[in-house]
Every structure is written in structure tokens, then in C-alpha cells.
A and B are shown apart, each in its own frame.
Chain A
Amino acid sequence: MKLRYFAWVRERIGKPEEDVDPPAGVATVAELMSWLSGRGEEYAYAFENPRVIRAAIDRAHVRPDTAIGGAREIAFFPPMTGG
């Protein structure tokens, strides 16, 4: 699946997007964040406070307990500050 990062999540991880293949046990958005945190210091820093991170699956907002099966694109970003 493709992951996309925005704003300071993107800056902390150091890249705007990447393709990942998480293990079968990673079933939800929250579990994906936890798995990503173990991939290196930059990920641990980006996801140090997962409660503030927002997520979208295939360009629609989702909650952390949402299943990621079948997702093509998952995005992580801080709370939005548009308008």
C-alpha cells in the first residue's frame, strides 16, 4: 500500500510518500502507526503522540480503529489548519 505524509508528519519522516508492505498482524490504522514507529527514529518522532495524528484511507477521513485491509492509499497528517 502507498503511504502519504503531510505537514510536520512529512517533515519528521523526511519523505512525502512511500510504498510499504506491513505484516498480516497489522490490521488497523492505529496498529499501522505503531508498526511504523518501530521502523526508525524519524518514524518514532513523527508518531510519538499518535492521538494527535489524523488519518485518511483512500482520501476519506478515518478513525484509528478503522481496518486497513484493501486500502490503496493511507495518509497521515496533523490536525488540519485550513480556511
Chain B
Amino acid sequence: MTATVRLQREPFDAAGEAAKLVRGRKDVGAVVTFTGICRGEEAGLPLVAMTLEHYPGMAEDEVTRHVQEAQQRWPLVGVTVVHRFGRIEPGEEIVLVVTAAAHRGDAFAAAEFLMDYLKTRAPFWKQVEYAGGSNWVDAKSTDDALAERWVRPGNPREAAE
């Protein structure tokens, strides 16, 4: 099992990261690659850029903890999560999740689980910049609902914190 978590200012190479999980192995039957990209508009307004603030130390810990949780829930062969911070312009990538497994169901589920948790639990905050000013993006209750569906009965830690 290969697990990689990186927080970085620089862009990443999604195809290259996916290839790394497969190279030299014969037990991978499915690789799911999700890339989150900065849109050119937010709430109907053209966006100049987005700036991602994060809590250094805690962000790495939280992402790593959820990668470990994904490994416990699904039989994964490899996982890579890369999350950028700093200023990002429309069309640039923000986040990458790659999951590799023997079968596609596990790879799809683990990738979705990781994205739902990154949206709601990893300490990152987006500030969007318009021509006339900037503001912080509000958390969406739809994202909370998506994360909530992964909570298992009897594990209050997942739900409460």
C-alpha cells in the first residue's frame, strides 16, 4: 500500500501521479483520478483568482488521518492526495485525489469519501477575488450532507468533531 499526502503551492501533474501508483505493479485493476479545478466564476460573478489559506501542520495531519481511514474501509493498493494552497487562477488545479485498487468500486468509493472529507474537515479556507474586491467562500450545507453519508453508527468521533 502506497500513501502519499502533499500540500504545496506549486501545480501538480495528475497523470504522472496516477501513473506512479500503477508502475511496476500487477495487482491494480482500477485507478480513479479526481482533479478539482478553479472555476472562472463564483455566484455568477467573474473570478480573478482564488487564495487558499491552510493551517500548516493540522492540514497534513487531517488529510493523512482520512487517508488512513480510507485504507481501513476499502482494500486500496495506493492513495495519493495533493492539495494546493496560495493564489490559484481560474483553470488551474486545486486538489488531486488518486485511488488505486483491484476493483473499480473500491477506487471510486474511496476517492469520493476522501473528497467529501477534504471539503468539510481539512483546515483549508478559500477566499475569492473579484474585480471589485474579495470575500471568503461560505461552507455549503450540501457539502456537509455529502460528508455525513460516510459516518458509520457507533463512531461518534466522525460525526461530532
Contacts and interface: CB of A to CB of B under 8 A. Distances in A.
Query: Which of the four size classes fits the interface of chain A?
Result: 10 to 19
B87 interface: no
Interface in A31-81: 56, 59-63, 75, 77-81
Query: Which of the four size classes fits the interface of chain B?
Result: 20 to 34
Contacts of B143: 83
Contact of B126 (A59, A63, A82): A82
A82 B119 CA distance: 5
Contact of B161 (A4, A8, A61, A78): A61
A81 B125 contact: yes
B110 to A, nearest CB: 15
A6 B55 contact: yes
A67 B104 CA distance: 44
Interface string B109-129: 000000100111111111100
A3 B60 CA distance: 19
A78 B122 contact: no
Contacts of A56: 55, 58, 123
Nearest to B124: A82
13 contacts: A6-B123, A6-B125, A7-B53, A62-B161, A75-B58, A78-B125, A80-B125, A80-B139, A81-B125, A81-B138, A82-B83, A82-B126, A83-B119
Interface of A: 4, 6-8, 56, 59-63, 75, 77-83
